[in-house]
Structures are given as C-alpha cells and as structure tokens.
Amino acid sequence: MGDLTKRALSQALGELLEEKPLDKITISSITDRCGLTRNTFYYHFEDIYDLLRWEFERQSDKIMKEIEADCSAESFLNGLNYLYSRKKAIYHIYNSISRSSLEKYIRDIAKKYAGAIVDRLLGSPAANTDARAIVADFYTNAFVGSIEQWLDDRMSTSPEVMSILCEEMLTGTIESAAKSARKVILDPRIRPGM
C-alpha cells in the first residue's frame, strides 16, 4: 500500500510540474490533487524534494536494470525518453533549486551505461579496476555533458537521434580507449603507484 501512495503523490507532483514551476508547488496542492492528507505525505516524505529524489531514484533503478540486462542504445534511449516525455516538468525542475536530483538521475544512468559499454569492450571488469574506472568515469562525464547540453538546447534533438549519436560517437572512442587501457594493463614496465 505504501508504494501505491508514494506513486500517487509522485504522479500528482508530475502533473503539477506540467502546469507550474517547482517553487510554486505546495504539499497541499500535491495532496489535494491525489486526494490524500498532508499527514500521509509526511509519513512517506520529508518534503517535496524528498519526493522528487524518490521518483528519480525509482526511474533510475528501472533503467539501470534494463542496462544490466541488455547494454544497448535502447536502454539509454529509455532514460532520454523519460526526460523528453516530461519536458515541461523537467525544465521546471532543471531551473529550480532541486536541479541536483535531476543531475543525479542523469549521472546514475550515464555511469551505468558507460560502465556497461566499457565492461563489454574491456572484458572482465576485474582485469584492472583502476583502468576500467578511469575509462568509465571519463565516458560518464562525456555522457553527462552531452545530456546537459541537450537539456540546455531545450531537447531540440529527438531522444532517438541523441541516443544513436551518443552510442556511435562514444562506442568508437571507447573501443580505442579500451585498446589503450589493455595495452597499459599488459605492460610489465607499469607498476601500481608509479
């Protein structure tokens, strides 16, 4: 029952974000929208930002499971589609004090996706965790930067095109980085801490 209540509150917040900026939304407007009480809201969440974090974490977990099951452009596309389908609400969040919740969602998805691509290309992630982490972090930042630029450009490029461009551009360069990382890993002259 608790999850249904949280989802109802989240849906109400999502609907309100389509209508007005985050700083104009109150807990009363959320609870009125879904027919619940303020006490019910506070039973589940500390404040509106806590509700917002919960929703992004829920969506992030769902998409990260898809990436684990099938590291493909489609799983990354699902993350972009989530943002695109809630365009107005996303901009109300993006331009608010709670932008950090949105940025965490983007970083979590990008990190999982970049890590999965690096693992696929480097082979076993246990081969050299330092090299893998450096390559994955580099491409995570590239993904995050690309998505933030996409948001700054008002999502003018479709999610499908964004997904394909990211996959094509980064896979080729990740392959090159993976090859370089493998060379470094196998070089007997390189020792940890040097």
Residue 10 confidence (pLDDT) above 60: yes
137-176 pLDDT, tens digit each: 888 998 899 999 999 999 999 999 998 888 787 777 777 7
- Where do runs of H (alpha helix) occur along the chain? 2-19, 27-34, 38-44, 48-69, 73-85, 87-94, 99-122, 129-152, 159-186
Task: Check if the beta carbon of residue 30 is closer than 8 Å to that of residue 41.
Answer: yes
Amino acid identity at 73: A
One-letter amino acid of 110: A
Q: In angstroms, how far is the first alpha carbon of the chain from the final one?
A: 56
Q: Quick one: pLDDT at residue 194?
A: 44
pLDDT at 123: 67
Buried b (16+ CB within 10 A) or exposed e, 11-27: ebbeebbeeeebeebeb
Task: Tell me the percentage of the chain whose pLDDT exceeds 70.
Answer: 87
CB atoms near residue 36 (< 10 Å)? 17
- Average the pLDDT over each of 7-11, 68-72, 85-89, 121-125 and give the range with the smallest value: 121-125
> Can you list the domains of the chain with their CATH numbers?
1-45 (1.10.10.60), 55-186 (no CATH)
Residues 6+ apart with CB under 8 A from 191: none
Task: State mean pLDDT over 97-111.
Answer: 87
119 within 8 A of 149, measured Cβ to Cβ: no
Encode pLDDT of 23-55 as tens digits. 999 999 999 999 999 999 999 999 999 999 999
Torsion, CA 101, CA 89, CA 148, CA 71, rounded to 10: 80
The predicted pLDDT at position 163 comes to 87
pLDDT given for residue 27 in this prediction:
97
